[in-house]
Structures are given as structure tokens and as C-alpha cells.
Structure 1
């Protein structure tokens, strides 16, 4: 198989995956410009100018065309096409990927630049990254399957090609230098040990020394106590499926691994050779005890897949660091233990049809495990023949997709805390891979932008960390620790301010307690400084609103630096309701003064518990629209998608629009929601639902404090100093129904006592096929300014709110200030459509 660099010159590139080769290089193309692709019937927009850095969080979201062909995923977990149609790619070279199916084929990929043929590849892989950057421009790409003798498998007028997808590359994209697979593997198998670590510095810097002081003190305190492996093995053998006991056993195993890691760190970093030797001996004792566990037993892959691979990686690291201190027989024993554990994980997630990540990327455990397998392969290369296989099949995947649960914007669709969990559990393996083969994870767009994601959804003062499972559980110490890791690595553009804010809010100083240092021990001690990004920005310099279009999340804060602020979160996500996401497209939340007001109700008492499936994940549990007694979007369905389709900030107003008809499915043909936030604490929520048959519609809202009804169309909520009211200004006749508690209560055995929650719903008095409403939410009292609204004479809804007036009609939003249309100069993030004279007309959402 031909692979690696193909000598295509500075403007082109080969592809980095196995079985991938550049077939020919064609015309280099013109400079950037608008291009009409007449044959395909599509328009590629001109690449945006580069006078200012492109920021996906402060630009209207890209909305792909409704392209449906054989590349379109059908199975719930299949790989989505990359680059997505109509996207702006933040990385260069970009990643190309598409669903593969269960059968193996060769693929031909054709890339055009500025409307002219540019480059083609033939590859046996369905995901790859060219190994050289592409020039800026407007691109389109398409792919077709080839049979055994190189003929297109699919007949048709278009020669078996998929519909072209378009994307733009800008001059300010992130240029990645990615080693091709066999260059990377060659580095791994010839690397000197300990290869997992960067060269030992002559002196630790202040931050690393603070962490090492914690580790050293802990090691010295525990050095005199013998590890109780016999008792632990008995507990493991007797551990059934009971949650409490299994958790206890896992915690004890993690403590043994932590003690081994402490000793390993001291054996590397302590300035006294005698102390280093004693620490290495202690680490060896723990290593022997851990290797003594049956790799195929309760701690193996079948018993606990994540525990198994973490043990395998910990043992592989010890093998790497203690290599010269072990005789060949002992090395062989440790190597076999690593192989047994790693092979089971590799077989399940990379080879078999059920778990193959190349086909089915949306796996909550799979990508984390694949990343660890690649790190282990890098550590064992040259000694274990199996490492070659592991590396061959994981490197093309893990070096192209950092996480399948988000995109370049840094968002994480499964929720803030699961994103944090993934970051914490990946970063150590990222460092190993970087140190061994040179792949620059901290240069990738997702890793760079994840700190900005935390800045908007986990700043001091939040009462709920975004959407999805576990959002009600706040982890500020860990969020601060991650921020500090970014700062220490020169990625402090957003993390510096977030760290300072959490330090002030929590009075954090110095190294944290054991639990925090444990989670990020190796990255904190041995992390390599990245190339510095932008200068640190104070929270006051960061816009109060932002979108994360790849996951369909948005945040609007009244004053981001102020923990007593009010915040609005909105979601309409193309990731659907799968895994740890909920059936909550086009839902929103409101919080203020550190207190929840309008909430995602329910608790994460356990994955797929009676309460979790019966309430927390369902549309009716969110501030969203249902019908006919709580019917809404399906749970656990990646195809139940929404889409964030519009965002602008003009004249102090912020507009967000989501579309979610696909999420509801059935005969729901329209499900559009627009949030228009106006200065002074006013939030207008415009909904338009349409169905093929009449329905009794329900406008749901939920609170963490009692809801007070004021007639049939208004409700008030007060939670300490935070307050909000909900009023249905325009819409059909409704009745307001209030309730508290849950149809399926949370399991207190799993999570402890749960605070009461309260529920309200405006229910239409009669069924209708169309449901259009305008609700007013006054946040923090809403300034007392009058707000009126009425149905427009030609349809739609008109409103007046102090200085602001406008309408929602025909899928368009119009806004005036003091009776005059907004000028372009009033817009920090302008809408897509500009009219002559600098006036703005807010085009179709």
C-alpha cells in the first residue's frame, strides 16, 4: 500500500491514512472568488476576507444545503461527512471523511478549488487528512466507490460520484504539521525510553514544582505502608454487579494506580539519585501487584472497558519508565499483560462490526479507548508486534477526529461535564502521542477552542452547566484546573481570565487537593509548552454572547465577568438526542444571581434509570414545545436533530434561531423558535409549529422554585434574588397548568436527596395544525418597560418594547430602534443580508 507524502509540491498534499495515495495533481486553481458550479447546480460563496480573524463563535452559523445521497448517514452512529457542506474549515489541511458501510471498497476523492479541478486521491480508508496544507480558497469535494478493478461501483449519469460538498479555507486557518502514519510509527519504534516523557528539565518551573511538591509529600507519607493487594484481589473476585461495591473496588484500584504513578514521577523528577532508586522500587512493587490481576477477569474489558484500558495504559507507562530496571523475563510478563488488555479493547472497538469506530464514530467510550490504544501502541512499538496493528488502525482515526462529539469550534454535544471528562481522560494520552510521534493535539482547533466553550458555559455564577446529562452537577475546581493547564501551555487567550475568575470566586491558590492533581498528574508535570496563541483576554473584553455552531449551542450573558449576571442558554443541535444528550432541540434555560430560574428539569441519577429515561431525557422535561399530552422528540436518537440557523448581535439586541422539525419527526413539518434578547432583561420567544394533523399544543417551562400563576397567560418565578416572569403575549386561547415533582422520581440510593422542581405548561384549549406564539420573559424584573404585541394584518406577529419594535413574519425577523432600521455600524455580528444604504434586513432564518 502506498502511503505517506507524495511529493505534490507546496500547494498540495498526499493523504496521511494507510492505503491512501494521491492519484494526480491537476490545475492549481485561481485565487479566491465567488464561483458558480453550473454542472452541480450550486454556488460556492467567496472565502471571507482575512482582514480580521474568522471566529465561528461570532459569525452567523453556516447552514448546509439539504444534500441527500449515499454519503448521508443512515445508521444512528455512522460517521458524518467531513468537511460539512457550506462550512468554513478552521484546520488546514482539513479532514475528509464519510460513512463507509460494512463492506470494504476503495474510494476516489476529487477536490476542486475555485471551480477548477485541483486534486484527487484514491484511498481504502473512509477518513483521512492530506499530509500538506491546501491553499486558501473555495473548495468542493466529492467521492465515489471503486470496485476491485477500479471501476465506479454505482452506475448513473454522474459516474457514481456523490453530490459535491462545499467548504472554504482561509489564510488564517490553523496550519497543522501532521506526520504521516508510517513516519509516525517509525518515530515510535525507534524512540529512546522513557519515550512517554519529554527530556527531563534541569529545573522544574514554578507551576510544575508546585504539583511535584504535592506528589512528593503524598509519596513520602505513603511509602511506609504496604499495598494491600491480597485483600483487593479478594474484593475484585467477589464484586458482583452491585453499584456501590463495584464503585468501591474501582476506587481502590485507581488508588493503587495513583500510588504507582506517584512513585514513578518521583523516580524521574527527584534530584537525589538514591530517592529516585527507592521510588522506582516502590513503583515496581505496585506494578507487580497490578499485573497480578487477571487481564480477562472482572477488571478486564468485559468487566469494565474503561477501567481495563486505563490499567493497560498505566502498566505500559510503567514498562516505559522502568524498562532499564527490569530483566527480560519481567519485561515479557508486563508486556503480555498490556497486550491482553489492549487487544480486547482494540478488537471490540476497532475490528468488530458492532463497535468499529471507522464505521460508527458516535461512541461515548470508543474514542477515548481508541486514543488510549494509540498511546499504548506508541509506548510498546518496537517490542510488541501487536503494537504495529494497533497503531495502523488507530492513528488515522485519532489523528483526524479529536472527538466525534463536537467540531472545530470546541463545543461538546454530550454536555459540559462530559466534555470535561473526555478532556481530562484524553489529555494524558495526547501528551504521550505528542512526545513519541509529534502529533500536535494542543494545536488542533477543538482543543484550542474548548477553553472558550468553558468560558461561556461554565463561568463563575452558573447554576447549570449547559445541556445534557449531569449538567446540574457543578465542578468548578476541575474547570479551574483545566483552565490552569491551558495557561501553563501557552493557550491562555480565554483560559487566563476563566482561571482568574474561578480563583477569585472560590479563593483557590496554589496546587489543589489530591483529587485534582490525580486527574491531571502527568499532564501537569510533563506537559510541553504549545506555541502561544492570542494574548490573554480579560472577561470584560470577551463578547457577552457566543454560539458554538458545530453542536448548536448558544449563550447570552447580561455581563459575562459578573457572577451575579443573568444568563440565557439555547440549544438546537444536529447531534440529536443520542447518548448523553436529551430530546431538547429548540429548548432554552435562564439563570441569574447564581440561581436557576427556567431549568432543564430532572436529574442524572444513573444512565437509563427509570427517572432518566422516564423524565430527564424527554422533551416534556425541558423548556420546549410538546403536543397531545407530552409527545415530543424521541430520546436516544441521533437523527432527532435540530439546527442553529441564525445568530446576530445588533444595537444591543441578540437574535438566535433554531429549526427542529426533523427532531420531532412524524407529521411535524415546521418547528422554528427564535429568541430575541433586548437590553433591560427582555427576552422574546417566538415559536411557530405546524403539523399535518391538528394537535393540542403545549408550551412547557420548568423552575427550581415555586411557580406563581397570574391568570391563564402569565407566571412568575423567584429564587432568592433572581426572578423571572413568563407571559404568553400572542397565541391561541390556553390554560396554565402547574405541577411539582416527577412522574418517575429520581433514585436517592444512586444520587442522594434531590431538590424539588416545579413545572408549568400553557396548553391550547383546542387542537390546530398551526401553533404560533410570542412569549415575553422578563428577566430580573425586565426593567418595568412596557411590551405589547399583536398579530400582524398580513400574518406574523408585531411587537413594541420600549425603543425597540419589529415583527416576526414569514420566517423573517425585522427590528427597528427608535423607529429606524439598524445600520451596519450597529452590528457586532451582522446578519447575512445587507440592503443598500447600510440598512439591514434580517433575512430568512
Structure 2
């Protein structure tokens, strides 16, 4: 390495990397020469100053960023300070101050921090603050850069609760999880039948379980002994889950009735799991589903059937549950570590299990204080990895519901102990994500894995729980609209009866933006889900990770309960060929390909962001930037979307390549075969008695290709209907391209469109069918036109004028109107005509 290169390298953030790159570390034969060079560099540079620069290294792809971010305005008070660990540094110093120079009288300094997270136990003054972190060595204390943040006066008070105070609030008597001895007495002596609607079904099911006389579930052999280890593992946890749930049901029946025959059945199963090898196939280190199932369900069952356990059985359960919880806390969470590398789905799920297990063992296992101290700091700081203060969930609706169902057991349980975890802005806001994105009567759960499933009562039950916990009348209305009522099973007595009545969502905003996950949800008529049109738009800053896909700047349109423009595919096994080679890719979603290539898959850098959002009542305007998702192929991909309530959508796609000229492919997917009028550049999707008409105003020439089915095929094609995939491709390579499309949702009478058969053949091209009745397309779509404009684009849609300002222009002029907005909508502008 040349001296100039060494000097350049020394100016970079990671000095340890520099040392590894020096000749002394490159197996040079002349060791003395290497030492001389190193000492020379030591004399030329202040090595400790270089190490101070290392404090602010860039996060790796799977690491969190520093928090608070520079110039961030916080939603809670005090902040959770998060920084990145340094190789060879065992303890850190944190300083926060209202003085940019960190004057001692205005500065709080905390030393000897072994975790790269610190949350003050008291709120701090509102206003501007500065923070930095560092460490000390033989030459003194070294700090990194200073970051500014602001605490507004309305920030939510959310100081950390020390672990000894938390443990002091956990009762010593049992049961502790979900129930109290007083509540159990009330349930068992319920002569008025107040609880019958909740308890009766559980007791009936427990009776049936006793009649089954089910053999104990055998501990599986090591996965490596199987011919197909992965499928053996998947089949094992899928079939084992109902077995463990029957253990929970039996324990609940004992809680409800006091009849020991139910407790003995739960005990029989519980003690069997206590004989399994914690480090064997049921480990939580991975593959982890069996281990998670055991710790999630055995912890409460141990607590609930505690009275029927002998002294030796209690000791055995305490020993094994301690080992499993210690395994998660050290070999899973701290081994990553979760505070700086939280982007792991299953590991995030285990956070709640550690808290519940710690409550179950709070006064029996001395390790509880250590587990809780670490885990509560995760909950107060980085949790969740997939969302932020606005409450969104990057992995999608299905995984939001599943994970919130589990973590809110902890939130609600701690709330009963007086520990206000529910005040964290994410928790208090996340119900709105479910409310808007998983709105009643939606036929899909786009975006994210298992997007093909309809919104149902499972989501409604989650909204009921949140409506109860936060006294939110709209959440309770959602629950009723999806057919969900008070929860049953293990959560039935965890959530209190709501203190408010359900309320129709007619007086709240009919759209919402979740900038944290890059999602905009727009509705036309939330008061009447059966008469509602929904438009969803995603440009996700988390990238194409975990249970989300490479579908930045993609949209979904649904109307009157029917899917129209949809994300496609059906995930039946994570990572299977259909999942990984179809659903993960842009080609499965309503976005754009460049030279028939989509966005980068499975990469945190394959990200987007929402760059504009405004709801003006008559219309919603939003825009996303998906440029980065294409690697280095694009200089710009901004998608501008105008939703004109109740049934129009206008999209302007602004693309520019970073290199050679390219062709661009505009994608549209539907549940039935899409008909096309090539001459007028019109497409029609139909589902049920609802249609979506789409027309290109620009470019003037595209080639249409339609495919049916999937490659690779679904694992079980009998579960889902076929789907159709239309591509509108530009014909000539260009450096830049603008697509301008107008879309309209309509209902029609007569026979509903026939749904397709199951996809029995792989993806194949179809002959384009002409629209059978062009007169059925709304006249406003057929007559929409571009009009002359300066500084952007203008179009007439019915009597409405729409202006779009191009990138770099200060304003757009058309039809006598000048606008500096990115997109302007003038309702009934041409009414005088």
C-alpha cells in the first residue's frame, strides 16, 4: 500500500480497518520494516484522534442508526440514546447537554455504560439538546461528533422504569400473568353468569381435549438426521402448535373452574416439555419455532397450574424455564446484539416471551433482574425494528397483527402493574396502522407477506384490544365491522371491557401517511366499508427486507370489496421458489421495470421514501422516490399519485436513467384477465361487479403483453385463483421517460365477471383481448387529454384541471394558471365550458 493511500485510509472512520490494512498486517516478510512504518505513522498522526473519528462510523446494513438522529424532533421525553459498538471498547461515556460546548454545569455525564443504549429515568427540559458518546483510555476521554435534537413541549413523558421498581410491582402470589387471585375467585364464583360468554367455549374445548386422551408429543430427532431437514422442521412446528395450544386451553379451564382434572392435563403436557433438551431441536437459537412455542406457552401454564405442582415439579419447571430464558437473553438477543442489530423477525418476537417468562419467575429465579433490565431497555429504545413513532409496521399487515397480538400481552400486563409501556408513541399510534391499512372489507392485506389474505376478524380482534387499552372508539368500530368482539382464549381477561362506545369513522381524516414505513393509505368512504374505495401506495425506507418485497413506488387499488390493481402471488412457505423467485420481485407488483429488470431484492439499500403527502378532502396527493431501489441504474424514479375522491386516480411517473438509454415497463396486475384497447391505450380490470379503467396519456406508444399464472408455480395451486399480469413497455430506449395515466373505479350491473380457475400451468403469455364494450368505460377517461403547459404537465380530466411541476422547475403554467406546487388539482375548473 502506498503512503498516500495509507494517509487517505487513516482519514476514514474505522481505524481498526486501517490497522488491518497496514503492511504490518499483510503478512509482510520483513516484520521490522512493518514496525518502522507503523511507528512512523504513529509519529505523524494523533492515533487517539483517529479513534475518536471511529466513534461515528457508518452503520452497517443490518445496524440501527444513531438515536436521536441529528436535528430530530422527538415524540417522547426523555430520548432513548443509541450508538454503535466499537471493537475492543467495553464501556462507554454518554453526555447530553443544552450547551453545544458541553459546559459541565449544563451537562449530564454517564460513565461505565456497558450497553450501547441509555434511557434516562426522568424527563428532561423541553428545548434544544446536544448529545455525544465516547470512551476513555490511558490518554483520557475521547468523544465523537455532537448531534442536535429537540424535545417539544408536547412530547410524551416516557422515562425508563428501573428494573427493581418493575419487579417490585409484580405480585408474589399466583397467578401473575393475565389473572390475579381475586379475579380467579370472581370467575369461579360467577353465579350471575357475567363471564359465561368468555369461559364456556374454553371449558367445552377442554372437556373435548380430555376425551382425546392425546399421547405426549415426542421430542423430535436432530434435524440433520432427516432426509429433508427443512421440511421436517416446518412440519414439526406446524403440527406441534395445536398440541401446545391444547395445553394452554386446559390450563385456562382450570383457572375458570378450579377443577383439577383440567390442571392435571395441562401439567402432563407441561412436565413433558420440561424433559426436552434445551440445546436440542427445540432450541431458541435456531431453527427456533419449537423453542419459541415452548417458552411462549409453558411460562403462563406454569404460572396458572402452579398449585397442582409438587415442590420437585416446581423446581424442575423453574430450572428449565430459566435455562430457556437465559438462552434467549444471551445466545439470541445479546449475541446479535439486538440493541444495534434488531432487524430480525423471530428474535424480535422473543422479546415479549422474555418479559412474560420473567414475570412468571420473578420471585423464584435470581436471573430475572438481569433479563428484564436488558429486555426492557430494548422495549424502551429500539423496539420495534420495523416501525417508528407513527406506528407503521414494515413487514406488512399480517405480520403486524401477529406480532402485536403477542407484544401487547406484555404492554397490557405491565399496564396492570402500573408500568406505562403503552405510552411509548409507537404503541399508542400503531392501532391507526391496523385501522387504516387493514380496513374492514378489504379483500387483501397488501403490502407484505401473506398479502393475498383478506382482512378478517383476526385483525378486528387486535383492534378491539387496542380500542380497549386506549379507549379508542374508532378501533372498537373496526372490530365490530369485521365481526370481532371481546377476545377469547388466553387474552380474554387481560383486556378490560372498553370504557367508550364504538364510533363510526365519518369525522376523522379519510387518509393517513406512515412515513416510518413509507405507506400512504387513502379511502373514499370509511363510514361505509361496503361502499369504500381504497388506494394504497408504498415507498418503504426499510428496503426489501424480511417480510417485505422489492415493491417501492407500488400501488394497490380496491373498490367495494373487490381487488382491482393488486400485488400477486401466494406465500405458502417462506423462501420457497414461488416466494423467492416471484413475490420478492418487482415483477409481482404494480411498479416499474427498467429494461425488464426490477428493484434489488433482499437488500436494505433497496429502499424508497414518501416525499410528498397532503389530504385536501376532495383529493389526496402523494409522491414517492424509489430511485435507490434500482441500485445505480436510475438517476430518478418519482411516482406522483393523485387520488380524487371517490373514484379517480392520476399517476405521473418521472424516470431518468443514470447511464445508457433504457426501455421502461409499467406493470398492472389483476384478479381476472385484463382487456385492452391498443388504439386508445386503455386497459380494464374487473372483479365481481367492479371495474378499473386505466388509460395512458403518455407515452403515446407502448407495447402490451399479458401473462397468466406464475413461474415458479405455487406449491399448492388449488388454494388460490389464477392472476393476470399486464406489461406496458416503451418501444424505444430513452434516457428519461414520463408515464401519465388516468384511472377510474366503477361499478356495473348484470352478471359479475367470472373468476378464473386455479393456476394449473406455469406463467405463459396470453393473446391480448379487446375491451368487449368500450362504451362501458367512463367517458371522462376516454376524453381525458394533455394540454399545453410550461414547466411540467397539465391534463384535463372531466371538468377538472391537473397540473404537475417537473423536477427542477420553479413553477408550472397551463390554462392561465400558475402553480408552484408539485401537483395542483383544480376542481370543476372547466365548468364554464
One fold, TM greater than 0.5?
yes
2:509 equivalent in structure 1: 543
| 1:813-832 superposed matches below 5 A | none
2:204 pairs, out of 212, 217, 220, with 217
Check the 8 A contact 1:411/1:548 in 2, yes or no.
yes
2:735 equivalent in structure 1: 769
Deviates more, 1:560-569 or 1:440-449: 440-449
- SS in structure 1 at match of 2:735: strand
Structure-2 separation of matches of 1:226 and 1:475: 36
- Pairwise CA distance, 1:646: 1.2
The answer to whether 1:607 aligns with 2:574 is yes
Deviation track 1:461-485 (CA, whole Å, cap 9, x = no partner) reads 2122121111111251211222222
2:531 equivalent in structure 1: 564
Deviates more, 1:677-686 or 1:323-332: 323-332
2:715 equivalent in structure 1: 747
Structure-2 separation of matches of 1:800 and 1:617: 37
1:798 equivalent in structure 2: 794
Structure-2 separation of matches of 1:209 and 1:76: 52
Check the 8 A contact 1:178/1:439 in 2, yes or no.
no
Structure-2 separation of matches of 1:635 and 1:549: 21
1:394 pairs, out of 375, 388, 394, with 375
2:677 pairs, out of 706, 710, 716, with 710
1:441 pairs, out of 421, 426, 429, with 421
Deviation track 1:358-390 (CA, whole Å, cap 9, x = no partner) reads 221111011111221232223223422433432
1:193 equivalent in structure 2: 174
Structure-2 separation of matches of 1:562 and 1:782: 24
Check the 8 A contact 1:93/1:132 in 2, yes or no.
yes
The answer to whether 1:779 aligns with 2:745 is yes
1:496 equivalent in structure 2: 476
The answer to whether 1:730 aligns with 2:698 is yes
1:180 pairs, out of 162, 169, 173, with 162
The answer to whether 1:161 aligns with 2:145 is yes
- SS in structure 1 at match of 2:492: helix
Cα 1:672–1:720, aligned 2, differ >3 Å: closer, same or farther?
A: same
Deviation track 1:774-802 (CA, whole Å, cap 9, x = no partner) reads 21112228863366443755442112223
2:134 equivalent in structure 1: 145
Structure-2 separation of matches of 1:759 and 1:115: 60
Check the 8 A contact 2:443/2:562 in 1, yes or no.
yes
* Matched pairs, number: 726
- Pairwise CA distance, 1:222: 3.1
Cα 1:309–1:149, aligned 2, differ >3 Å: closer, same or farther?
A: farther
Deviation track 1:225-252 (CA, whole Å, cap 9, x = no partner) reads 53411x6447999977567765554355
- SS in structure 2 at match of 1:525: coil
Cα 1:461–1:70, aligned 2, differ >3 Å: closer, same or farther?
A: farther
1:333 pairs, out of 316, 333, 337, with 316
Check the 8 A contact 1:456/1:555 in 2, yes or no.
yes
| 1:573-592 superposed matches below 5 A | 573-592=540-559
- Pairwise CA distance, 1:773: 2.4
Bigger RCO (CA 8 Å, 6+ sep): 1
The answer to whether 1:95 aligns with 2:85 is no
- Pairwise CA distance, 1:523: 2.3
Cα 1:381–1:832, aligned 2, differ >3 Å: closer, same or farther?
A: farther
Structure-2 separation of matches of 1:313 and 1:619: 36
- Pairwise CA distance, 1:574: 0.7
- Pairwise CA distance, 1:770: 1.4
Structure-2 separation of matches of 1:680 and 1:479: 25
2:25 equivalent in structure 1: none
Cα 1:455–1:651, aligned 2, differ >3 Å: closer, same or farther?
A: closer
Structure-2 separation of matches of 1:258 and 1:645: 45
The answer to whether 1:636 aligns with 2:602 is yes
Check the 8 A contact 1:312/1:337 in 2, yes or no.
no
Cα 1:601–1:252, aligned 2, differ >3 Å: closer, same or farther?
A: closer
Check the 8 A contact 2:452/2:570 in 1, yes or no.
yes
Structure-1 separation of matches of 2:235 and 2:631: 43
Check the 8 A contact 1:375/1:430 in 2, yes or no.
no
Check the 8 A contact 1:544/1:556 in 2, yes or no.
yes
| 1:367-382 superposed matches below 5 A | 367-382=348-363
Deviation track 1:612-646 (CA, whole Å, cap 9, x = no partner) reads 221211112211121112x2211111121111121
> Any stretches of 5+ residues in structure 1 without a counterpart?
1-67, 154-158, 824-830, 835-845
- Pairwise CA distance, 1:818: 11
1:306 equivalent in structure 2: 289
Deviation track 1:180-228 (CA, whole Å, cap 9, x = no partner) reads 234324545x744333345323645988542222222222343355341
Cα 1:803–1:140, aligned 2, differ >3 Å: closer, same or farther?
A: farther
Cα 1:490–1:389, aligned 2, differ >3 Å: closer, same or farther?
A: closer
Structure-2 separation of matches of 1:152 and 1:658: 44
1:525 equivalent in structure 2: 493
Deviates more, 1:644-653 or 1:231-240: 231-240
Structure-1 separation of matches of 2:151 and 2:728: 44
Check the 8 A contact 1:72/1:80 in 2, yes or no.
no
Cα 1:543–1:147, aligned 2, differ >3 Å: closer, same or farther?
A: same
| 1:39-118 superposed matches below 5 A | 74-84=59-69, 87-100=72-85, 103-104=88-89, 105-112=91-98
Structure-2 separation of matches of 1:78 and 1:708: 46
Structure-1 separation of matches of 2:613 and 2:102: 32
> Any stretches of 5+ residues in structure 2 without a counterpart?
1-52, 747-775, 825-833
What do you get for the CA RMSD once the two structures are aligned?
3.6
- SS in structure 2 at match of 1:214: helix
Cα 1:485–1:640, aligned 2, differ >3 Å: closer, same or farther?
A: same
Check the 8 A contact 2:559/2:690 in 1, yes or no.
yes
- Pairwise CA distance, 1:349: 1.9
Check the 8 A contact 2:178/2:493 in 1, yes or no.
no
Deviation track 1:119-152 (CA, whole Å, cap 9, x = no partner) reads 5443443223322233444x35442322336845
- Pairwise CA distance, 1:459: 1.9
| 1:97-496 superposed matches below 5 A | 97-100=82-85, 103-104=88-89, 105-112=91-98, 119-122=107-110, 123-137=113-127, 139-148=128-137, 151=140, 153=142, 160-162=144-146, 164-171=147-154, 173-176=155-158, 178-188=160-170, 191-199=172-180, 200-201=182-183, 203=186, 209-229=196-216, 232-233=218-219, 241=228, 246=233, 249-270=236-257, 275-301=258-284, 304-352=287-335, 355-435=336-416, 438-496=418-476
Cα 1:315–1:800, aligned 2, differ >3 Å: closer, same or farther?
A: same
Deviation track 1:300-344 (CA, whole Å, cap 9, x = no partner) reads 335641331331243333333444544432222112221332233
Deviation track 1:401-449 (CA, whole Å, cap 9, x = no partner) reads 442111122211100000011012223344455556x433333322322
1:757 equivalent in structure 2: 723
- Pairwise CA distance, 1:766: 1.6
Deviation track 1:740-796 (CA, whole Å, cap 9, x = no partner) reads 222322222xx7443221122221222122112221112228863366443755442
- Pairwise CA distance, 1:455: 1.7
